[in-house]
Structure 1
Amino acid sequence: MPDRPLNATAASLLGFLHDGPMTGWDLVEYAQQRIGGFWSLTQSQVYRELAAMAAAGLVRAGERGRRDRQPYEITEAGRAAFAEWAAKPPAEEAIRFPLLLTVLFGRHLPPERLAEYLATHRATHADRLAGYEAVAAALPAEADDVDPYSVATLRFGLAYERAVLDWFDALPGPLRPADGTGGAPAGGAATPPAAD
């Protein structure tokens, strides 16, 4: 077992390695596809975690292959550490939405700058939703051929992106764009309404 508890990033890498050996490069690509929409993970983090987990005996490095890429496989100790991590209750989520900070202090920005930020972010969320919808449309029709755990996270992504786009489309008057794309026209940011 490792000297320190697994962090969620290391645990996710061990989870992916249950599917078979992968290089650090493979893990970065796989993580971007599988969890990139809700969990940030950089290439440097992946290689740092792999080195630490190899030192702790949780993964084993294989022979270097093409382009000097080295595959890693999970060990029995790694499976045990992952099982221990997975059995613990997940930490509470903390919303970190940088655009909301900018909107909160939007009255200190030129209106056209805030409009640009809002339009750019709305387009990003629309693209993510389109990507999730494409994945959902490609799922097999037979329920037996679908991984329910992946479907559950996909459904969250669909619901989240739809909710965020609804938020953009219901921005208060001073932030509402004339073209309906989520950018702001003239005027400062309104103070968010009080919760009910």
Structure 2
Amino acid sequence: MSLRHALLGLLSDRPASGYDLLKLFETSLANAWPATQSQVYTELARLADAELVTVSAQGPRGRKEYTITDAGLAELRHWLTGTTPVQHTRSDLLLRVFFLGVLTPEQGREYLGWLADISAQGHRRLRAVEESVDWDEDDLSAYGRIALEYGLRFNAMRREWAEWAAGQIQAPGAGAPAPGRDGGRI
């Protein structure tokens, strides 16, 4: 996903200013694709140059409201149906698990405890977002809830897994960790 497509997607729901889009990011997309103020405004200028959005209204202090164009909607639809999503497989968090054997068992359990804690925090943060959003019946709200549920389930799963994994770490000389629930090993 790119910031370009995230902005086009938000604008497909309704016209918005850069400020409005930043607020929408904070309450929705930031968990999947964070963006800074400068990134949003720079990309809006690029989208306007490419005629994928247009400035539909101007207000005080240079405030601009952007509307997606037909070409922008076509670009968004092409991205959704004509391209394959990039599957990022790199995980610094999980890579460290492979090498916990160089630490003491207590240090390994501490790391996994930390991972369980940040997952629980992420879950609480998403619950707070869920409760703070004024959900509408529009598509952005409907699909936003589905994406939010992914984040909630992912954080719950990662917390549960980290707690389980911490219990698998044994004292030195006690043997390898027990196999996974299905009896297999990595």
Structure 1 residues 36 and 192: alpha-carbon distance in aligned structure 2, compared to 1, 3 A threshold = farther
Q: State, as a whole percentage, how many aligned pairs show the same letter.
A: 32
Q: 2:70 aligns with which of 76, 79, 93?
A: 76
Q: 1:159 aligns with which of 133, 153, 160?
A: 153
Corresponding position of 1:63: 58
Q: Secondary structure at the match of 2:165?
A: coil
When the two structures are aligned, how many residues end up with a matched partner? 176
Q: Hey, what's the Cα distance between the residues in 1 that align with 2:185 and 2:105?
A: 26
Shift of 1:126: 1.0
Q: Structure 1: which 5+ runs fail to align?
A: 1-6, 177-184
Corresponding position of 2:165: 171
Q: Hey, what's the Cα distance between the residues in 2 that align with 1:87 and 1:112?
A: 48
Tell whether the 8 Å contact from 1:57 to 1:77 is kept in structure 2 after alignment: yes
Q: Hey, what's the Cα distance between the residues in 1 that align with 2:27 and 2:132?
A: 15
Shift of 1:15: 0.8
Tell whether the 8 Å contact from 1:104 to 1:192 is kept in structure 2 after alignment: no
Q: Secondary structure at the match of 1:171?
A: helix
Q: Secondary structure at the match of 2:67?
A: strand
**TM-score where L is the length of structure 1:** 0.67
**TM-score where L is the length of structure 2:** 0.69
Shift of 1:53: 0.8
Shift of 1:31: 1.6
Corresponding position of 1:182: none
What RMSD, in angstroms, separates the aligned Cα atoms of the two structures?
3.8
Tell whether the 8 Å contact from 1:53 to 1:59 is kept in structure 2 after alignment: yes
Q: Hey, what's the Cα distance between the residues in 2 that align with 1:16 and 1:192?
A: 47
Q: Which has the higher helix share?
A: 2
Shift of 1:150: 2.6
Deviations, residues 46-82 of structure 1 (Å, cap 9, x unaligned)? 223212111101112342534x443322122212222
Tell whether the 8 Å contact from 2:108 to 2:166 is kept in structure 1 after alignment: no
